[in-house]
Structure 1
Amino acid sequence: MKQVSTLFLKIAVILIGIPVLALCIFLVPELGKLATKLLPGFASIKYLVSIVFYASAIPFYFALYQAFKLLRYIDKNIAFSELSVKALKNIKYCAITISCLHVLVLPLFYLFAEKDDAPGVIFVGMVVPFASMVIAVFAAVLQKLLKEAIDIKSENDLTV
């Protein structure tokens, strides 16, 4: 049963990466062109937007890799180990990095909202940073709980 659930989660991790890759290929260049239209006096904004979005894809895929490693640790029955704590710590740092990079792009959402007179666009721009911070907090809590469980387990192993 455990193998089936981790297999399902491994497939889900892979399937999460595919739409983000498609967004990087098709949507990011369009966002760069849109940014150039919004700020015609600042020609290098296209490259700045592309760099920020592509740079946020790197920690995203690294976090997916860490999640995949965590699932492999569960399969090998070494989920309660320092390797799992390290993977959760890496996921936390990746989520914080993604959030910080997307906060840098929030002024662009403001400019787009001003141009189209749609203030809801700003809230759409805040979805990714907020979701990333939720993931970071969740990973930090799991990391702390796992570390405490490992400490309790090692204490119990020493007393027996």
Structure 2
Amino acid sequence: MKRTALTLLQAVIVLISLVVLAMLIRFPLTEGRAANLDLFSIYTDPFILYGYATSIVFFAALYQAFKLLGYIGRDQTYSSNAVGTLKRIKYCTILLSALMVIAGLYIKIFHHKEDDPAGFLAVCIAVTLVCIAAAATAATFEKKWKHATQMRDTHFL
């Protein structure tokens, strides 16, 4: 892959990280659940704290993707480091999908009767499906790259 394309992809990952971080800071201030709370109470709300904890897994997956692009740029695509990075991306996406399912179930079960949880549940379903697709893709690449790494290592012996 060309170095320019890899740098562009890494820049996109950084941009996504910054946009999501800005949303994490700004969204609780405008969200309906916390609209009438003071600044301290907004950021100590258990559901908002759960969202921040879940975002750690998301940022870990983005960091691993950034590292993977670095390995590809240094022609270490079929190295054990790249395979391990793919494995960590797979685990992060599986964990993120499980955390989103838990959040959706929490909102479905404990929402106020006058609130409509359909929008949040739709977002949970969409994010879960994207995470499952990303995990399946990472698992496929991991398997193929692991096989290629083993073939390369046995070829040099």
Alignment of 1:46-125 (within 5 A): 47-110=45-108, 115-116=114-115, 119=118, 121-125=120-124
List, as ranges, runs of 4+ consecutive aligned residues in structure 1 with deviation greater than 4 Å.
Answer: 111-114, 116-121
- What TM-score does the superposition give when structure 1 sets the normalisation length? 0.80
TM-score where L is the length of structure 2:
0.81
Tell me the distance in 1 between the aligned counterparts of 2:126 and 2:112.
Answer: 15
SS at match of 2:114: helix
CA distance in structure 2 between the partners assigned to 1:108 and 1:67 by the alignment: 30
Measure the CA separation in 1 of the matches of 2:56 and 2:116: 33
Asked if structure 2 preserves the Cα contact closer than 8 Å seen for 1:113 and 1:120, the reply is no
3-state SS of paired residue (1:126) = helix
Equivalent in the alignment of 2:137: 138
Match of 1:43 in 2: none
Extract unaligned runs of 5+ from structure 2: 37-43
Residue 3 of structure 2 corresponds to: 3
Output the CA distance in 1 between the equivalents of 2:64 and 2:117. 38
- How far the C-alpha of 1:60 sits from its partner, in A, is 1.1
1:34 maps to 2:39: no
Matching residue of 1:20: 20
Measure, in 2, the Cα distance between the counterparts of 1:100 and 1:21.
Answer: 21
The answer to whether the Cα contact below 8 Å between 1:35 and 1:108 also exists between their aligned partners in 2 is: no
Amino acid at match of 2:98: C
1:12-63, Cα deviation, whole Å (9 max, x unpaired): 11111122101210114554x61799xxxxxxxx732122211111111111
What is the aligned length?
A: 150
Q: Identical aligned pairs, as a percentage?
A: 33
